[in-house]
Amino acid sequence: MFEILEHTADIGFRVWGKSQQALFENAALALESLAVELDDVQPAFLYALVASGEDEESLLVNWLSEVLFHLDGRQVVMRQFQVDQLTSREVIGRGWGEPRDPVRHPSKLVVKGVTYHQLKMARTPEGWCAEVYLDI
């Protein structure tokens, strides 16, 4: 679903999906996987996720920023995502997880933000692919 991309000051990932919705879902999981150990996360609670943007790239950045806001701002860790609606300007979805417990969900990296640096998103013969870099 995704692979880590090396960078001197940041960390990135390349993510795939058979559909654009799956790409967004897998990107959210990649972000969470880089920031927190997900092995003990229980998908016990449902969290609404909504983001808007001017184009596909800003929509992806804002979607991931919403996921990051839940992780850092609301102290919620999620391990499953579903995009219910995706238009050219809005994404509406859900994440399943639970309140973050530092003992059960130890940090891997402190992600400060989602960047536009070297951001790429494209349709491929297999579906969709994106490259995203995170400020750490």
Provide the whole-model pTM.
0.92
Name the percent of the chain lying above pLDDT 90.
89
pLDDT bracket for residue 23 (50, 70, 90): very high
Name the percent of the chain lying above pLDDT 70.
96
In total, how many domains does the chain have?
1
Domain of residue 8 covers 2-135
CATH number at residue 11: 3.55.10.10
User: Would you say 70 and 63 are in contact if contact means Cβ atoms under 8 Å apart?
Assistant: no
Cβ-based neighbours of 19, under 8 Å, separated by 6 or more: 127, 128
